[in-house]
Amino acid sequence: MGNSFQGLDRFAAGAQYIGGRLRPGTSGRRHTVVDPATGRDVLDYVLASTADVDAAVAAARDALPGWAGATPGERSDAMHRFAARLAERAEDLAHAESLQCGKPIKLTREFDVPGTIDNTAFFAGAARHLQGQSAGEYSGDHTSYVRREPVGVVGSIAPWNYPLQMAAWKILPAIAAGNTIVLKPAELTPLTSLMFAQAATDAGIPDGVVNIVTGAGRDAGEHLVGHPDVAMTSFTGSTAVGRRVAEIATSTVKRLHLELGGKAPFVVFDDADLEAAVHGAVAGALINTGQDCTAATRAYVQRPLYDAFVEQVADLMATVRTGDPFDEDTDLGPLISHAQRDRVAGFVDRARGYATVVTGGTAPLGDGAHYRPTLITGAAQDSEIVQAEIFGPVLVVLPFDSDEEGLALANDTPYGLAASAWTRDVYRAGRATREIKAGCVWINDHIPIISEMPHGGYKASGFGKDMSTYSFEEYTQVKHVMYDNTAVARKDWHRTIFGDR
Ligand code: NAD
């Protein structure tokens, strides 16, 4: 089975989605989307200029009063229709996502696309459930209540590793809460964000509520973050770029939500189910070719299980099939680009000087940006391969002795996005969930996410939450409204000003 998606035909009108229609960028600079599995061109488009960002922000600002003023039920109805449009287009979306990212078709069909549809349906429901403290007479003399209001025009920036899901995670809670949005996807992967926005329009979500600018980070991205009419920045990407985004957002006093890099630990205690841990580690390290901010990257294995774990992980990695993403038997696609493959290979090559590459560490022949599943042992905790985010199919395994040591090593990187602990002992599991500093801790699994639960980082992995109703804390502002109930002109507290007069 081959790819059925024709990017050029689909985006002949341009790759900017502003005010409910596609239009060309006006920067004069072109970018080519390349299929990383073959090196073939998929779409050549003109990047967004700062003027295109201005037009998108203006469209979002114009749409704001109508959308923010709609009832939660009206927003919810539109978003349920949105979920239905996405479901009708599931196969199309899966093909486009596999084509621009090189993801195996079984991954986009079974994970990216259904996850996005479920997220859309979840936020359609959640739009009617904004939470707050109950109204009441907290002072005795007044009635207080809170209004949960949209923030305004949201400017979001997304990475290339899960383009459709990242667009969904940014757009859905924002619009469910009554905001309008301008999203800048990564230059490498604009297709499915544009298709997502088109589905929103086709579902009856008003023009201008969802806008996409496909531009470069340095100009379109920074212009969006610093834009005076943008009330909030929501960024998912690397910690390095997140720092720059934070500087701009802070200098323009914007609300900020940062979902940044990760280096998830995978802690295997000596009572763990070894077969489960081995399968969990290989799947958790290789999902999306390791280009996953929550991927299992550092396995810490208690000494009695260490040798068997390393041997079995190496054997299992050797069974993973690299190949054409549109072949249903392919387990592992290429990396997003040849540049990313070279970056990953650079980390592994440098590690050869101080660690052992047990398996992998090479690129198969061919035009694609493939890299073999790679297992590394013998690295020191403070080495680059253990500390840095590699974003490729590379797992490092280290031994530990006491439980304290295992948990301390798990916490010993700047990141804190996700982690897992593997044990049959409920007390060990409980301790791991309390002591590991990360936004998500799995017990006896690694990777699953659900729409109802929050996703977000601790430490250098950022702050704020995607998914779940917790995300409304980012995308709404809470207003306290207080009514005097006494109708008394001279209140008791006025004594602090007027004394006995
Ligand atoms: P990146 O930081 O290079 O780019 C992310 C986005 O920022 C892109 O759209 C890019 O164009 C834009 N950008 C680049 N420079 C910019 C600037 N100066 N101003 C404004 N925008 C700018 O990240 P990437 O390589 O696309 O994605 C991989 C990274 O994303 C990894 O670090 C990964 O961990 C992270 N990520 C995090 C999460 C999470 O939920 N925490 C999820 C997915 C990916």
Q: Is 256 a residue whose pLDDT tops 80?
A: yes
CATH number for the domain that contains residue 438: 3.40.309.10
159 and 188, same domain (yes or no) = yes
Which stretch of DSSP H or E encloses residue 164?
Answer: helix 163-176
261 lines ligand 1 (CB under 6 A): yes
Residue 490 lies in a domain: no
How far apart are the CA of 344 and the centre of ligand 1, in A?
16
Point out the ligand 1 atom lying closest to the alpha carbon of residue 248: 19
pLDDT at res. 496: 95
How far apart are the CA of 341 and the centre of ligand 1, in A?
17
Point out the ligand 1 atom lying closest to the alpha carbon of residue 225: 20
**Contact (CB, 8 A) for 53 and 224:** yes
Mean pLDDT, rounded, for 359-367: 93
pLDDT tens column, 375-387 = 999 999 999 999 9
390 and 243, same domain (yes or no) = no
417 lines ligand 1 (CB under 6 A): yes
52 lines ligand 1 (CB under 6 A): no
pLDDT at res. 35: 96
pLDDT at res. 3: 80
Point out the ligand 1 atom lying closest to the alpha carbon of residue 224: 20
289 and 387, same domain (yes or no) = yes
Which stretch of DSSP H or E encloses residue 17?
Answer: strand 16-18
User: Residue 414: which domain range?
Assistant: 264-443
Look up residue 361 and give its two tokens. 């560490």
pLDDT tens column, 178-204 = 999 999 999 999 999 999 999 999 999
Alpha carbon of residue 24 to chain centroid: 27
251 and 386, same domain (yes or no) = no
292 lines ligand 1 (CB under 6 A): no
Angstrom distance (rounded) from CA 447 to CA 449? 6
Cα angle 486, 488, 493; round to 5: 95
65 and 209, same domain (yes or no) = yes
Average pLDDT of every residue of the chain:
97
Band (pLDDT 50/70/90 cuts) for residue 221 is very high
**Contact (CB, 8 A) for 329 and 323:** yes
pLDDT at res. 1: 62
Q: Atom 15 of ligand 1 has which residue's CA nearest to it? A: 217
174 and 292, same domain (yes or no) = no
Angstrom distance (rounded) from CA 367 to CA 331? 18
Residue 208 lies in a domain: yes
33 and 166, same domain (yes or no) = yes
Measured CA distances, 444 to 111, 178, 422 (Å): 20, 38, 5
456 lines ligand 1 (CB under 6 A): no
Band (pLDDT 50/70/90 cuts) for residue 9 is confident
Residue 170 backbone phi and psi in degrees, to 5: -80, -45
Catalytic residue among 222, 259, 389, 474: 259
Q: Atom 9 of ligand 1 has which residue's CA nearest to it? A: 186
153 and 189, same domain (yes or no) = yes
pLDDT tens column, 128-158 = 999 999 999 999 999 999 999 999 999 999 9
Assess whether 88 carries a catalytic annotation: no
Assess whether 293 carries a catalytic annotation: yes
Residue 453 lies in a domain: no
260 lines ligand 1 (CB under 6 A): yes
Q: Atom 39 of ligand 1 has which residue's CA nearest to it? A: 259
Residue 433 lies in a domain: yes
37 lines ligand 1 (CB under 6 A): no
Band (pLDDT 50/70/90 cuts) for residue 410 is very high
Which letter does DSSP use for residue 450 in this model? Answer: -
Measured CA distances, 242 to 212, 221, 225, 422, 439 (Å): 20, 11, 11, 32, 17
The pTM of the full predicted model, rounded to 2 decimals, is 0.97
Q: Atom 26 of ligand 1 has which residue's CA nearest to it? A: 159
Mean pLDDT, rounded, for 170-184: 98
Band (pLDDT 50/70/90 cuts) for residue 4 is confident
214 lines ligand 1 (CB under 6 A): no
> How large is the angle between the packed helices 163-176 and 90-101, nearest 10 degrees?
130
pLDDT tens column, 32-56 = 999 999 999 999 999 999 999 999 9
422 and 467, same domain (yes or no) = no
Number of structural domains found in the chain: 2
Residue 2 lies in a domain: no
pLDDT tens column, 76-114 = 999 999 999 999 999 999 999 999 999 999 999 999 999
pLDDT at res. 8: 76
Residue 43 backbone phi and psi in degrees, to 5: -160, 130
200 and 78, same domain (yes or no) = yes
pLDDT at res. 476: 98
Residue 40 lies in a domain: yes
Q: Is 7 a residue whose pLDDT tops 80?
A: no
Residue 8 lies in a domain: no
231 and 308, same domain (yes or no) = no
Which stretch of DSSP H or E encloses residue 478?
Answer: strand 476-484
CATH number for the domain that contains residue 98: 3.40.605.10
Residue 10 lies in a domain: no
pLDDT tens column, 296-323 = 999 999 999 999 999 999 999 999 999 9
56 and 151, same domain (yes or no) = yes
How far apart are the CA of 73 and the centre of ligand 1, in A?
34
